[in-house]
A and B are shown apart, each in its own frame.
Chain A
Amino acid sequence: VDHVAQITNATVTDLTLFDDFYRAEYSNAVRLAWTLTGRKDLAEEIAQDAFLAAHRRWGVVGSYDLPGAWVRRLVLNASTSRRRRVANEARVVLRLGRERELAASTTETIDLVRAIRKLPARQAQVMALLVAEDLSIVDIAGVLELSEDTVRTHLRRGRERLTELLADTSTDGMDQ
């Protein structure tokens, strides 16, 4: 499960290894983007763009200690950027009842990732990496290039805020 470590151990500089890297990481990247954007098509697009960027710069990216972290950072940044842009569109989609969000997931999962998307961007990124990727604090810090203390701070705040948001959701549900 620790693909980051795997990639770390294999300092990938050979272009031919990109395909392996791509296949191994693609679904993780989509899942991560999905968690933050809530749209599968958008998540796939973001993930593909990130891997395309990696492919183009593979000579450099492949030599990084953490090429997977590099891609994740692109995915996180793009997801954060795009989620604002698509917010209005998403509202329309919701109104039209054509939401494609996590169609295969449970209601609890949907509520959770929706709550994550309501967090401030950095907190959302940290929580997404925790939930979707199951990364440790050390790995999250590596991906986001933050200190572990900073990650802990965001994690703490994010969890606190999530509990509030989920409690609100639960209350709303009961009200209904």
Chain B
Amino acid sequence: MNDLSTLDTRITGARSDLRSLDIGLPPDIKAVRRRHARRRNALIGAAGLVSVFGLMVAVGLRRDTSESAADPQGIGTKIGETPWRLMLMPAGWTGSLVDDDTTTITSAEGQQIELSAEPGVRPPTDAPVVVGPLVDGYSTGATIYVERMGWTLEVAIPGGGTVDEAAAVWLLQSIGRVDIVAPFPDTPLPADIPDVVGMDYEAATEVLLGAGIRSEWFRMPRGLAPLTGTHPVGTVLEMRPIENRVILNIEAPPYELGEEADRYVGGFNPNLNAYGQSRWLVGGALPFGERSAVPYVFLSGEISAVFSPQSPNGTATIQDYQSQLNGRQPSEQPVDTEQPAATEAASAVDLATGQTFPLENPALSYQGLALEGLPDGWTLILESTQATTNGCPTEKAVVLRERASIAAPIDCTRGYGQTLPRNWMVIEPIPEAISMNRGCSLRLMSWNPPTRPSMQLCEQQFSYTLGFATEAELSGRGQYLFFDGVDAVVSAGGDGTGLALALVYADGHSAVEDPDENDFTIAARRDLDELRAGGRGCTALVARAEPDFDLAASEAIGTVAGTVFPDTGADMVGRPDGIEATNINPQPDARGTMISLKSGDVETPYLLAHRYVWNPETLAGEWRIASIERYTGIWPPPRQLPGRPPSQTLPD
């Protein structure tokens, strides 16, 4: 029996053996979902980015009836415990609602974190709302005025509504905290803690501060929320030093929330029950040892306001999730919000052509633009036009253009039904009442996921093997090739004489024609989320050569590139004739990695610039390609032979 026959026998035996293994029944998919959400959300706290950036608040919604019982310490704020939350995000992160129960927040670097709600729990009707600071609020009768960044947000509570104005203010307050949360000092509490029982909580704060104890006050209806001047607070009733913290119960009048009053009264006393009549103060360190600002998660409680961007004047709907919690339908109370006329026209953004969106995102933020639906990947900006008008609130301000050759030729339908030319994105004002700053916030709208450009690069090493094409089956259009972990597609030109390389995210689906200016076929495309779900870490660029192999012409229409992937584990199958790409070693330019695309006798060098970024998924830093540019230095670089110094003598 030869070796292969023996192997086949072993395979047969192993197959039977594996079949006999007791895998067990699959767990309930809902339980899987909860675990998955916890696992993903836990990464948020570890990301460690918040301390670097200014903080904003995005609105999420928390709802978990079992949390109180499951959280005897009572803080109820450990990241990952609750499906929805108010969460702090670094500046530059944006959120978008993926589906009915999932929100994805995306960093400027393209990192994504997915937040999922429990099945059946209704999330906010829109993506997390990024809000500006809420300075103060006051009310006159049925109208509440909330000042925010120089604006006055007018919230009219409908008569007979079940949510009173105090609650509405609280809602706005809850979603409006923007001031940077200073971390608790990472030091032990002093031995002598002043007795503040009987003091007003503000006076107690001062006394404690004088003793070197920084204190934060939170109301604890069902989680952690900051107390501010708009909250009714009272006297310190109790003081209990516990290790490195002090918990104070504070007398406070109850909130009145109509028929659900009993559910919203008072605060949260972890040692008694979930709905005690007290508030408490935590000084020194939070119970779970969260001493940095990162894990501060402000839970929104059972009700939240959701602002609709579709309304020119903005509308907010107060949703009573407690009702839903009790088996009734959410009671939605429309709250009209009026936005004062913009006092400052939005500036047009001059984005640097050739740069990536992530790199340019700070410029957008500085201009008061919120970039929602940030395209994944290192998408180069090909074009940036001035706004047709700078006026708020409805006209588009900036049009950006993606690399025309890459995005899938699917109509990019904007959120309002307007069809845009593909690969163009529009930044337009946010019409709703809540804005980021400057009185006229804009945000990038309607990035349609199917049109994501396939330029996501996420490499982990400097050293690459570059390669194009393979054996594969070249049949008219569609030559398929792959490498380890990176799949690609090569499609032949119409006459079969040339090659157009369209290296796509991964193994894909049906071919997509690109009948426009590029005249090549994208034979595979894959949604980035799917890729990530599938564990694919890396993708590719696009390389193209026309039948005449005129690389200059190809470059002119924006089809540059190559495949980049770690050289370890590469499993490249074959090479095509005429096109090759190699990494250059040693690298002649310290700014990045040099690659060379070669087609026939034409060799074109490119420089891949790198950036070191934090990857919250792997909890590690990694190098990523930030830009690709034509190399203008000496080419080809002088070859260096290792270990041999240059000859100093003339040959005989």
Contact = CB atoms under 8 A, between A and B. Distances in A.
Given A74-B534, A78-B534, A131 B26 contact: no
A142 B57 CA distance: 45
Nearest to B24: A27
Given A131-B18, A166-B6, A167-B3, 5 more contacts: A35-B18, A81-B536, A131-B15, A146-B482, A147-B472
Contacts of A104: 20-22
B571 A123 contact: yes
A84 B533 CA distance: 17
A108 B10 contact: yes
A121 B23 contact: no
| A-B interface, 3 closest residue pairs, ranked by CB to CB distance from nearest | A81-B535, A26-B26, A77-B534
A163 B535 contact: no
A59 B540 CA distance: 28
A31 B21 contact: yes
Nearest to A77: B534
B577 interface: no
B536 A30 contact: no
Interface in B569-621: 569, 571, 573, 618
Contact of A121 (B7, B15, B27, B484): B484
B14 A131 contact: yes
A106 B17 contact: yes
Contacts of A149: 473
Contacts of B27: 48
How many chain A residues sit at the interface, stated as a range, is 35 or more
A150 B10 contact: no
Contacts of A153: 573
Contacts of B102: 56
B537 interface: yes
A131 to B, nearest CB: 5
B33 A55 contact: yes
A121 B571 contact: yes
B10 A80 contact: no
Contacts of A137: none
Contacts of A134: 15
B571 A109 contact: no
B555 interface: no
B13 A122 contact: no
A132 interface: yes
A53 B14 contact: no
Interface of B: 3-4, 6-7, 10-11, 13-15, 17-27, 29, 32-33, 35-36, 99, 102, 472-473, 480, 482, 484-485, 487, 507-509, 524, 530, 533-537, 569, 571, 573, 618
A40 to B, nearest CB: 9
B36 A48 contact: yes
Contacts of A93: none
29 contacts: A26-B23, A27-B26, A31-B19, A34-B18, A48-B27, A48-B32, A50-B534, A51-B26, A52-B36, A53-B534, A77-B534, A81-B535, A81-B537, A84-B569, A85-B618, A104-B21, A105-B21, A106-B13, A109-B18, A112-B10, A121-B485, A121-B569, A131-B18, A132-B18, A147-B480, A149-B473, A150-B472, A150-B482, A153-B573
A122 B4 contact: no
B113 to A, nearest CB: 15
Interface in A86-131: 102, 104-106, 108-109, 112-113, 120-123, 130-131
Nearest to A22: B26
Contacts of A80: 485, 535
Most buried by A among B102, B534, B618: B534
Interface in A141-161: 144-147, 149-150, 153, 159-160
A23 B25 CA distance: 7
A3 interface: no
Contact of B484 (A31, A56, A108, A122): A122
A52 B32 contact: yes
A12 interface: no
Nearest to A26: B26
A113 B14 contact: yes
B66 to A, nearest CB: 21
A174 to B, nearest CB: 15
A74 B533 contact: yes
B533 A159 contact: no
B7 A122 contact: no
From A102, A160, A163, residue with most partner B Cβ within 10 Å = A163
A106 B3 CA distance: 20
A26 to B, nearest CB: 4
Nearest to B32: A48
Contacts of A81: 485, 535-537
A61 B634 CA distance: 50
A52 B29 CA distance: 7
Given A104-B22, A108-B13, A167-B3, A150 B507 contact: no
Contacts of A150: 472, 480, 482, 573
A160 to B, nearest CB: 8
A96 to B, nearest CB: 23
B18 A145 contact: no
A109 B99 contact: no
A153 B471 CA distance: 11
A80 B538 CA distance: 13
A162 B7 contact: yes
A82 B535 contact: yes
Contact of A146 (B6, B11, B99, B480): B480
Contacts of A55: 29, 33
Contacts of B473: 147, 149
A139 to B, nearest CB: 14
Contacts of B25: 23, 26
Contacts of B507: 73, 144-146
A105 B25 CA distance: 19
Nearest to B36: A52
Given A31-B23, A52-B36, A159 B4 contact: yes
Nearest to B98: A56
B32 A122 contact: no
Contacts of B29: 18-19, 22, 51-52, 55
A53 B571 CA distance: 27
Nearest to B481: A150
Contacts of B15: 131-132, 134
A64 B19 CA distance: 27
A73 B23 contact: no
Nearest to B2: A163
A52 B524 CA distance: 24
Given A112-B11, A150-B573, A163 B4 contact: yes
A56 B99 contact: yes
A50 B26 CA distance: 12
Contacts of B13: 106, 108-109
A159 B3 CA distance: 10
Contacts of B535: 74, 77-82
